[in-house]
Homo-oligomer: A and B are copies of this chain.
Amino acid sequence: MASVARIVAMTIQTRRERERAERERLIVTAARDLAEAEGWDAVTTRRLAAEIEYSQPVLYSHFKGKDAIMAAVAVRGCEELTVELRASAAAAEGARERLAAVGRAYTGFGRRRPALYDVMFTHRVDLPFATPEAPPALQEAFGELLSAVEPLAAEGEDPALLTETYWAGLHGLVTLMRSGRLPEQAHDRRLALLIGRFAPRATAR
């Protein structure tokens, strides 16, 4: 009897936990969608609460604060980015073309999903980044870049550092363009120049 009761309690418990987890996903999805539709300024705790049809304090039973919600959105964004990078790399042949493909995919992601990109790579958000405790999704995304850059590293060059440098170039292009500092229309040519610097034709042929 006692054991049965315990089992029942456990299943009720698990159902509750499942519902909680589902609601948490709902919060993150709502925050992301709202941000992508109207920008992060429109994502207020009140607005978000209305969106999920709960009251404000519920948010704080899932996340420490608004920043934590944004961090969760960022992690989900990394997963999406990884998928896109992987797909583009898989479809490309040759080292130079692989580098170009991930570059296009990366900047395309940043331009197509500006709000998501911002929370991942621009906004201050308390996520561990350049450490072993970084979210796996983030490490995978970096890994995709790494495997595209690595074959193009010259002798004596650290592939990881070279990848970070290439990443910085892509990131700079995306952010400067999106904030109006660089004109949109020449993006492809700038990207081609960047790629050319990291994969000289001599190396590819």
* Interface residues in chain A, defined as those with a beta carbon under 8 Å from any beta carbon in chain B: 121-122, 124, 129-130, 157-158, 161-162, 164-165, 167-173, 175-176, 179-183, 186, 189-190, 193-194, 197-198
For the complex formed, measure the closest distance between the CB of A81 and the CB atoms of chain B, giving whole angstroms: 13
Whether B122 pairs with A175 at a CB distance below 8 angstroms is yes
Complex CA gap A69/B162 in Å reads 38
Contact of A157 among B172, B175, B193 (CB under 8 A): B193
Q: What are 20 A-B pairs with beta-carbon distances under 8 A?
A: A122-B122, A129-B181, A129-B182, A130-B180, A130-B181, A130-B183, A157-B193, A161-B190, A164-B176, A165-B173, A165-B194, A165-B197, A167-B176, A168-B171, A168-B182, A170-B172, A171-B175, A171-B176, A172-B175, A197-B198
Whether B165 pairs with A193 at a CB distance below 8 angstroms is yes
Which chain B residues lie closer than 8 Å to A129 at the CB level? 180-182
Complex CA gap A121/B175 in Å reads 9
Whether B172 pairs with A167 at a CB distance below 8 angstroms is yes
For the complex formed, measure the closest distance between the CB of A174 and the CB atoms of chain B, giving whole angstroms: 8
Whether A168 pairs with B180 at a CB distance below 8 angstroms is no
Whether B124 pairs with A179 at a CB distance below 8 angstroms is yes
Q: Which residue on B lies nearest to A179, using beta carbons?
A: B124
Question: 17 new A-B pairs (CB below 8 Å) besides A121-B176, A129-B181?
Answer: A121-B179, A122-B175, A124-B179, A129-B180, A130-B181, A130-B183, A161-B189, A164-B182, A165-B173, A165-B197, A168-B171, A168-B172, A168-B173, A168-B176, A168-B194, A170-B172, A172-B173
Which chain B residues lie closer than 8 Å to A170 at the CB level? 172
Whether A164 pairs with B190 at a CB distance below 8 angstroms is yes
Whether A190 pairs with B175 at a CB distance below 8 angstroms is no
Which chain B residues lie closer than 8 Å to A169 at the CB level? 165, 168-169, 172, 194
